Structure 1
Amino acid sequence: LARAGIAVLAVDRDPLTAEVARANAEALGLADLIEVRCADVTEIDTSPYDAVFVDPARRGGRGRIFDPEAYSPPLSWATAAALKAPRAALKIAPGVPHEAIGPEAEAEWISDGGDVKEAVLWFGEGFAPGAFRATLLPSGATLTAPAPLPAPPVGPVGRYLYEPDGAVIRAHLVADLVERCGGRLVDETIAYVTSDVPYSSPYVSGYEITDQLPFNMKKLKALLRERQVGVLTVKKRGSAVEPEELRRRMKLSGPGSATVFLTRVAGAPTMLIGHPLG
């Protein structure tokens, strides 16, 4: 912000962090635009400012903090501060409960290479209060929908299976993908989407399913031996089996490759075997 010529007040109650921030501002030649204040930010009146950005401490002495009200500063204070400013952005943990997110913000989950890295609450002009958004990096593809969406249909496994990006799952936008591809969930509690026709989207990884088996290690091992599968990718949702343990027990050998999904279909432990589309 300071590099763009904007005057910034930076607040942190940790003296060492404040000193490092001052040193960085000096080193970058921005000290005239950045005021660093060692203070409790909850005692700062944010109403005179054009924008507010809050990156609360989400770790304590015992590790990661899951309760947003235990953040430093708490999410409730950050939200109140955001509502006093024309624009605001609040960083939150990607796993924050959706019920902790107020209706005043647009909530965005951001993934990088499929791994969910960040979540941000946006306030002000240009954002849709109550909407949920998933943004994928490095492509920049972004998907948004009002929340909550209606529950998607559930049905049998079709020829194709789609694994939504983690940001889409965190943003509860799987139902939007189901509608877009004309598909259904394989189980009401599992974020795997299936359809009978191929579908291409940056928000999913697609697979063609060749086999569906009840969960049975011996049957899977026999099928993989018959197909001469030497390279096996194991994915799971709703299964306690560890991928490395499964690969070890399969004793793989051969030139072929396959992907196995350990999941539930209509509540039943199931193995789906296939290969990536494209």
Structure 2
Amino acid sequence: MNDLAPLLTPEGRALLDAVRGTAPADELAVATRLRRDHPAGLVSAALGQARLRQRAEAKFGAEDARRMFFTPNGVEQSTRASVAAYRAGRMKELGVTAVADLCCGIGGDAVALARAGIRVLAVDRDPLTAAAARANAEALGLTGLIDVREADVTEVDTDGYDAVFVDPARRGGRGRVFDPEAYSPPLSWAVAAALKAPHAALKVAPGIPHEAIPAQAGAEWISDGGDVKEAVLWFGGSTRNDVRATLLPGPRTLLGTGLPNPAVRPLGRYLYEPDGAVIRAHLVAEVAQELDGGLVDETIAYVTADALRPTPYATAYEITDQLPFNVKKLKALLREREVGILTVKKRGSAVEPEELRRKVLPKAQGPHSATVFLTRVAGAPTMLVGAPAPTATAAGGS
């Protein structure tokens, strides 16, 4: 589909209602029936849009997704609604009233900003993508706050806007792009655009090297439900040089304090697995200090401690056994403990978790469960056996 216009007509909207929720197995029969009374191309477009809406529910929720319009790339690359809403909230707290959203895609971030009461200029150079953003502003009743413009972002005048938001494309013909200067537009251009405004936020890949972060920016890594979703470079106000990890839902934010790397210490009773945003932000030391713990190995982001302390920034496991890497010994131990459900995690090990699970637990052997960590302890390949601590999800933090 390279034109949304037919779907925005009364006939197109009626077809979208008619095909809502169509299962893949039923598409051929539904298409055959509808083509008796409607153009074949319009029926195909409606079914394609229905599939995209179903995929988009995970990011946007069913209520919004069933009203919005998507492109395949738009579904894949859009910000999750919870993350966009959090970021828009931060903009609101900074006093931002008008944002130039450059590389707006299908408008997910513009929607979140508008719902926070912020006026948005949403710009994208792709005609279909800009059309989707415009249709979404209308579908969600936000046309009074979102002005969509089809243009090259490098040619847009952002004067009159007190903030700039840039979400450059990080995918090319061969997949993900890891070099920030290979983004479209490049990170250097986005930084220059950011520095022209009182406030700015640049969305970047969470794997961005810390040395690539501009000196004028603060950096924030955001996870949602334990999955790291993005990093944001913040410009303006008091955000300069801030390093933070934010966990959603919540939000709970851990602010860096410049601590040195934690010391390595003997394995304690508990092992803490920091949230991915904490690890990406290089804030494991702050978590270790909160837990009065240390690292199991100087190169591994597992924290160990003797006491169980609730923290939102790490998941706690009670360790019952520490073994040198030995598949036969692990298999015997699991059989002895009557373990039938096994979770395998790894950090600093080349062994694939599913491969090990098949070797040591080819079939259910009992009613109990266990978690095995493949890692290094003080430099030695090690297997740690344990289970989630009962209070690991207790609330805390800021």
Q: Pick one of 255, 259, 263 that aligns with 1:144.
A: 255
Measured after TM superposition, the shift of residue 49 of structure 1 is 2.0
Deviates further, 26-35 or 266-275: 26-35
Match of 2:128 in 1: 16
Partner of 1:135, secondary structure, is: strand
TM-score (norm 2): 0.66
> Residues 4 and 186 of structure 1: is their aligned pair in 2 closer, same or farther, counting only changes over 3 Å?
closer
Q: Pick one of 300, 304, 308 that aligns with 1:194.
A: 304
Q: Pick one of 142, 147, 153 that aligns with 2:263.
A: 153
Deviates further, 40-49 or 66-75: 40-49
Q: Point out the structure with the larger strand share.
A: 1
Q: Pick one of 165, 168, 171 that aligns with 2:275.
A: 165
Write the letter of the residue equivalent to 2:387.
Answer: H
- Structure 2, unmatched stretches of 5+, are 1-112, 391-398
Verify: 1:57 aligned to 2:169, yes or no. yes
Query: Considering only aligned residues, what root-mean-square deviation do their CA atoms show, in Å?
Result: 1.7
Match of 1:255 in 2: 367
In the aligned structure 2, how far is the partner of 1:128 from the partner of 1:146? 14
Write the letter of the residue equivalent to 1:83.
Answer: L
Measured after TM superposition, the shift of residue 119 of structure 1 is 1.5
Partner of 1:264, secondary structure, is: strand
Is 1:161–1:193's contact at 8 Å kept on the other side of the alignment?
A: yes
TM-score (norm 1): 0.93
Measured after TM superposition, the shift of residue 216 of structure 1 is 0.3
Match of 1:134 in 2: 245
Match of 1:238 in 2: 348
CA displacement, residues 82-132 of structure 1 (integer Å, 9 cap, x when unaligned): 11111111111111111111122221111111110121112222x431121
Write the letter of the residue equivalent to 2:323.
Answer: L
Percent identity over paired residues = 76
Is 2:372–2:384's contact at 8 Å kept on the other side of the alignment?
A: yes
In the aligned structure 2, how far is the partner of 1:229 from the partner of 1:59? 43
> Residues 16 and 225 of structure 1: is their aligned pair in 2 closer, same or farther, counting only changes over 3 Å?
same
Match of 1:109 in 2: 221
CA displacement, residues 204-251 of structure 1 (integer Å, 9 cap, x when unaligned): 111111111110000111111111111111111011212222121113
Match of 1:204 in 2: 314
In the aligned structure 2, how far is the partner of 1:33 from the partner of 1:200? 42
> Residues 255 and 23 of structure 1: is their aligned pair in 2 closer, same or farther, counting only changes over 3 Å?
closer
CA displacement, residues 22-53 of structure 1 (integer Å, 9 cap, x when unaligned): 33334445445433322221222334421111
In the aligned structure 1, how far is the partner of 2:174 from the partner of 2:386? 42
Match of 2:292 in 1: 182
Partner of 2:311, secondary structure, is: coil
In the aligned structure 2, how far is the partner of 1:25 from the partner of 1:177? 41
In the aligned structure 1, how far is the partner of 2:253 from the partner of 2:142? 33
* Count of residue correspondences: 276
In the aligned structure 2, how far is the partner of 1:275 from the partner of 1:29? 48
Verify: 1:221 aligned to 2:335, yes or no. no
Partner of 2:271, secondary structure, is: strand
Write the letter of the residue equivalent to 2:243.
Answer: F
Match of 2:18 in 1: none
In the aligned structure 2, how far is the partner of 1:138 from the partner of 1:35? 30
Measured after TM superposition, the shift of residue 6 of structure 1 is 4.3
> Residues 33 and 183 of structure 1: is their aligned pair in 2 closer, same or farther, counting only changes over 3 Å?
closer
> Residues 103 and 220 of structure 1: is their aligned pair in 2 closer, same or farther, counting only changes over 3 Å?
same
Deviates further, 25-34 or 89-98: 25-34
CA displacement, residues 182-201 of structure 1 (integer Å, 9 cap, x when unaligned): 11101111100001222210
Is 1:130–1:146's contact at 8 Å kept on the other side of the alignment?
A: no
Q: Point out the structure with the larger helix share.
A: 2
Partner of 1:210, secondary structure, is: strand
Is 1:12–1:18's contact at 8 Å kept on the other side of the alignment?
A: yes
> Residues 30 and 199 of structure 1: is their aligned pair in 2 closer, same or farther, counting only changes over 3 Å?
closer
Deviates further, 34-43 or 134-143: 34-43
